[in-house]
Amino acid sequence: MTQRMHLDQFLLEQARNQGAHVIEGTSVQKIHEKNDSVFIEDSGGKIYRSALLIGADGANSIVARNLQLNDGIQREIALESEIALPREIMYKWNDSIEIDLFSIWCGYGWIFPKQDHISIGVGGPQRFFKQIKEYNSAYLSQNKISEYPKIRFSGHALPIRKGFAPLTKG
Ligand X SMILES: Cc1cc2nc3c(=O)[nH]c(=O)nc-3n(C[C@H](O)[C@H](O)[C@H](O)COP(=O)(O)OP(=O)(O)OC[C@H]3O[C@@H](n4cnc5c(N)ncnc54)[C@H](O)[C@@H]3O)c2cc1C
Would you count residue 85 as binding ligand X (CB under 6 A)?
no
Asked if 112 interacts with ligand X (CB under 6 A), we say yes
CA distances from 49 to 31, 33, 38, 126 (A): 10, 10, 6, 37
The span of 52-60, 88-96, 134-142, 162-170 binding ligand X (CB under 6 A) equals 52-60
The residues in 8-27 that bind ligand X, with binding defined as CB under 6 A, are 27
Among 156, 160, 166, 170, binds ligand X (CB under 6 A): 156
- Select from 31-39, 54-62, 100-108, 142-150 the region that touches ligand X (CB under 6 A): 54-62
Residue 78 is a binding residue for ligand X (CB under 6 A): yes
Closer residue to ligand X, CB minimum distance, 36 or 95: 95
Structural contact between residues 82 and 149, judged by C-beta atoms closer than 8 angstroms: no
Measured CA angle at 145 (ends 144, 150), to 5 deg = 165
Q: Which range touches ligand X (CB under 6 A), out of 33-41, 50-58, 88-96, 135-143?
A: 50-58
CA-closest candidate to residue 117, choices 140, 86, 96: 86
DSSP state at residue 41:
E
Task: Give the binding site for ligand X (CB under 6 A).
Answer: 27-28, 56-59, 62, 78, 80, 112, 119, 121, 156
